[in-house]
Amino acid sequence: MYTRGEYENLPADDTNLTTNYSVPEVDKVSLVDGQTVGQTATENYMIHQFKNFVGDNPSCQVTWTGQSSLAPSASIVKLQIYNIDTTTWVDVATNNAIGADTDFTLSGPIADLSPYTDTSNVITCRVWQEAT
């Protein structure tokens, strides 16, 4: 399930966000080919959230590639994973250096998926940026 939304505060849990990705939007973000799905915000957080099946894999590499019309050098972009055991979001990668409208990748290893995987073997990750 891929969802997105604009929020005054960052959600504390991994509940689905307000807008579901459409099938064409999921197709757009399934490949690294320059196609993106936007999310606007005014003085709030722009968030994209991704729930993915990881099966019985003990570890994984979490990767997001995209861009922002608001330069990460002006407002940091974060990739996070939800820890089910501690009910907190954990930083995986950040970017606060690149300019606007430029493709960049956030990526990081998750050495042990056990605290992040739900009973259906699904992890939840999100990418967010605060509009300033």
pLDDT at 26 (0 to 100): 79
- Return the half-sphere exposure (C-beta side, CA atoms, 13 A cut-off) of residue 9: 3
Q: Evaluate whether 48 touches 65 at the Cβ level (below 8 Å).
A: no
Distances (CA, A) of 53 to 42, 102, 122: 32, 29, 4
What the chain holds in terms of domains, given with CATH numbers, is 2-130 (2.60.120)
Q: Which regions in the chain score pLDDT beneath 70?
A: 31-36
Residue 33's pLDDT is what?
A: 61
> Is 0.85 surpassed by the pTM of this model?
yes
> How many CB atoms are located within 10 Å of the residue 83 CB?
15
Task: Tell me how far apart the alpha carbons of residues 35 and 33 are, in angstroms, rounded to a whole number.
Answer: 6
